[in-house]
Amino acid sequence: MSVNPWFEPPHPRARSALPSLVRAMVRDGGDLLSLLPAQAYRMGIGPLGWSRRSTIVVNSPDLVRRVLIDDRERFPKSDLMVNALDPLIGNSMFVSDGDTWLRQRRLMDPSLSQMRIDRAMPAMQASLDDAEQELSDRADRKESFSLDLAMSHLTADIICRTVFSTSLKTQTTHEVFEAFSIFERSVAQVNILRLKATAAS
């Protein structure tokens, strides 16, 4: 099954398997997207082919809906994600499955109502405006910056503004973000020794 041949989503410059592994080793293994082969962005569904784990990429919108919504009980959360997040958030909605997830999701429903979302939009827009201005200022000063870190900062700022009614610029929220960044770097690493290059893009 293939996705629309006229559409290919934005993605990093894809490399063959071996150069991708070498690049991940040099860059300390934190860039998961750079390990994806070129065909991962063009196929509707298919295996990655170079990992010891059986890893399947799903791009087709219909199949994504099936995995995430229609048949979600047949597709539990990844044990890698569960093991990484459990020390931080426990058995919460991000890692739970089945009846536990459904109960947690229903508890969240009121906060996701249209009225609540409408109230949150001004705070989200303000966060986006501030982030855009910050990146524009850095570009004007010709400063280099990590886009990954900038997007993480934006996400955290939106959460702080919509949930706690305060920006990430306050001392407490900044300390929380820094602590989470340290945790994220400690778990989001690619163990190169567990991968093997058995297929090229």
State whether 6 and 53 are in the same domain. Answer: yes
pLDDT for residue 133: 95
State whether 62 and 130 are in the same domain. Answer: no
* Domain annotation covers residue 36: yes
State whether 117 and 68 are in the same domain. Answer: no
Q: What value does the mean pLDDT take over residues 62-79?
A: 89
pLDDT for residue 116: 76
**CA dihedral in degrees (82, 87, 90, 91; nearest 10)?**
20
Which of 69, 72, 41, 71 lies closest to 57 in space, CA to CA?
A: 41
- pLDDT tier, 19 (very low <50, low <70, confident <90, very high otherwise): low
Do residues 28 and 189 lie in contact, with contact meaning Cβ atoms separated by under 8 Å? yes
Mapped onto helix, strand or coil, the DSSP state of residue 57 is strand
Query: What is the enclosing helix (H) or strand (E) of 70?
Result: none
pLDDT for residue 33: 66
Label the pairing between strands 56-58 and 45-47. Answer: antiparallel
State whether 17 and 68 are in the same domain. Answer: yes
Domain count, the chain: 2
pLDDT over 70, % of the chain: 71
Mean pLDDT of the residues in the chain: 77
* Domain annotation covers residue 197: no
Supply the range of the domain harboring residue 23.
1-75
Q: Which is higher by pLDDT, 42 or 201?
A: 42
From 27-41, 65-79, 126-140, 169-183, the region with the lowest mean pLDDT: 27-41
* Domain annotation covers residue 101: no
* Domain annotation covers residue 88: no
State whether 61 and 125 are in the same domain. Answer: no
pLDDT, one tens digit per residue, over 100-135 is: 988 998 888 887 777 677 888 999 999 999 999 999
**CA dihedral in degrees (114, 116, 119, 124; nearest 10)?**
-90
Q: Which is higher by pLDDT, 54 or 154?
A: 154
Where is the domain boundary, 48, 75, 102? 75
Do residues 13 and 34 lie in contact, with contact meaning Cβ atoms separated by under 8 Å? no
Give residue 49's region: left, alpha or beta (phi > 0; psi -120 to 50). left
State whether 127 and 69 are in the same domain. Answer: no
